Chain A
């Protein structure tokens, strides 16, 4: 297996994937970086970034997007942890439950947003129910605002975080839990001292992927929010510069900022993970 010939063979087999990543990802990414650092005529400049930081309307999108993405990612993951914990050994109706969780992921943002407009609209079933239960007197505004975007990200993000964490929790050896209880720990202690530390890698990764999804929110911010102002997220700004003003240089600068901010948040989460993980060197059964 380790002969020279097989090394060459390995490279040949990797070649399509390497070409793919180079041509369809690295090259566009590098091209975007190049565009962001040049003028329309190809002269090097920092003006695109300067413009972004100088334009209050565009700069605000960073704050707007973080305000949407951070809370809903935290909520999704914080809810997913107890739910995954509860279902860690399987239960009756698990298949039905997971089916309903997977449906919104499969249908995608566009259909969920489109459906929310009717279901959560002023005459929709949700408001009818809330008024019948006398929770609200007048129809509550769930759509065309910040809340609508956040709800749509919750409907799709929660199942994602939950199913992902379920994979991690159900992989933890149940003997660890038993051992902890035999040694006199109560449920609470067992959870915080044993299961939670073992879940940390899963929590960190599902946080990251959920955040990536929420931070690059685009269709639902347009359909369910107020894309001209309160939910003008960074992806909308990048899109508008590219495809409405046809200024790909300015658009690339914004999309590079988008990647930079996202990578900063992700590296914070991964730093937290590595700090936590030292505490628990025991590895659960995979």
Chain B
């Protein structure tokens, strides 16, 4: 009986160690490769250089990539909050006919493959002259973010007792006052969590952005994919340099995010 947990813990930690080795290996080789020259064999590169970053900076309009990326991510989070919060409030508080239908409609974009609605959505963006524009990229990326936000917000709103609102209403507070003085302060942790989690997700969202973005509306992840796809058009180290820039942004956001949320919240729990 006593030997069994030991074997299982050895297996557990061996597997975790292997996983961490792969993740760290992937990240460290990207970073080292972007700083290396003539690294064809051996554990470490023979020379270190920063020239690939200069190459990447000449190759791409990096300030534009960064500003587009942050514009898209921040705009998506704010717009999604405005759409998701009222919906999450109603879904958390009230029972009404068709609630199940509304909820499953909202969750449907999570189950349908992005290509399925992404291709006609991209086509519609072309028709309405939104393609290759930052506004188009913001619009399409709302589709996966809003349902996610509703799911994250609902439990937080459920936690706030409805009687506080009734009490405020009896004391003559208007809807707006209740919203501003009771609902927002009490659900602030939820709003923060939903915002941060969506922000971290939005940075790496690729599929839909790729279908709509082009030219001046490229986000950094789309530029990175295009570079990696056209391997041979530029040295692999230069692609890695762009990858490191993207990696740093995503990691800074993740580390800031983890001060407010726990990693398990990154994946939601469905009922």
Q: Are B264 and A98 in contact (CB under 8 A)?
A: yes
Interface residues of B (CB under 8 A from A): 4, 8-9, 12, 15-16, 19-20, 22-27, 29-30, 33, 40-41, 43, 82-84, 86-87, 89-91, 93-94, 96, 102, 105-106, 108-124, 139-140, 142-143, 146, 150, 162, 166, 175, 200, 203-207, 210-211, 221, 224-225, 228-229, 236, 239-240, 243, 246-247, 250-251, 253-254, 258, 262-264, 266-270
A106 at the interface (CB under 8 A from B): yes
Binary contact track A98-110/B, C-beta < 8 Å → 1, others 0: 1111111111111
A184 to chain B, nearest CB (A): 14
Highest count of chain B CB atoms <10 Å: which of A128, A239, A266? A239
Q: Are B243 and A114 in contact (CB under 8 A)?
A: yes
Number of residue pairs A-B, CB distance < 8 angstroms: 250
Q: Are A128 and B122 in contact (CB under 8 A)?
A: no
Assess A242 versus B122: contact at CB under 8 Å? Given A114-B239, A216-B114: yes
Assess A24 versus B139: contact at CB under 8 Å? Given A155-B23, A160-B267, A216-B113: yes
B218 to chain A, nearest CB (A): 13
A7 at the interface (CB under 8 A from B): yes
Additional A-B contact list (17), CB under 8 Å, known A14-B102, A25-B108, A107-B204:
A1-B166, A17-B83, A24-B142, A35-B120, A95-B263, A100-B24, A101-B19, A111-B243, A119-B26, A125-B25, A125-B29, A202-B269, A219-B210, A239-B119, A255-B116, A255-B118, A263-B111
Distance A125 CA – B30 CA, assembled complex (angstroms): 11
B251 to chain A, nearest CB (A): 8
How many chain A residues touch the partner (CB < 8 A)?
89
A28 at the interface (CB under 8 A from B): yes
Q: Are A106 and B150 in contact (CB under 8 A)?
A: no
A43-51, A163-171, A172-180: which one contacts chain B?
Answer: A163-171
Binary contact track A218-257/B, C-beta < 8 Å → 1, others 0: 1100110000000000010011001100001001100110
Distance A10 CA – B143 CA, assembled complex (angstroms): 22
Q: Which chain B positions have C-beta within 8 A of A263?
A: 111
Q: Which chain B positions have C-beta within 8 A of A54?
A: none
Q: Are A256 and B116 in contact (CB under 8 A)?
A: yes
A118 at the interface (CB under 8 A from B): yes
Q: Which chain B positions have C-beta within 8 A of A251?
A: 119
Q: Which chain B positions have C-beta within 8 A of A243?
A: 211
Q: Which chain B positions have C-beta within 8 A of A26?
A: 105
Assess A258 versus B115: contact at CB under 8 Å? Given A7-B96, A21-B106: yes
Q: Which chain A positions have C-beta within 8 A of B84?
A: 17
Q: Which chain A positions have C-beta within 8 A of B146?
A: 17, 20-21
Q: Are A29 and B264 in contact (CB under 8 A)?
A: no
Q: Which chain B positions have C-beta within 8 A of A155?
A: 22-23, 26
Within 8 A of B (CB), among A99-147: 99-119, 123-126, 128
Distance A6 CA – B87 CA, assembled complex (angstroms): 14
Q: Are B264 and A163 in contact (CB under 8 A)?
A: yes
Q: Are B87 and A14 in contact (CB under 8 A)?
A: yes
A213 to chain B, nearest CB (A): 9
Q: Which chain B positions have C-beta within 8 A of A115?
A: 26-27, 29-30, 243
Q: Are A118 and B30 in contact (CB under 8 A)?
A: yes
A127 to chain B, nearest CB (A): 10
Q: Which chain B positions have C-beta within 8 A of A248?
A: 119-120, 123
Q: Are A13 and B43 in contact (CB under 8 A)?
A: no
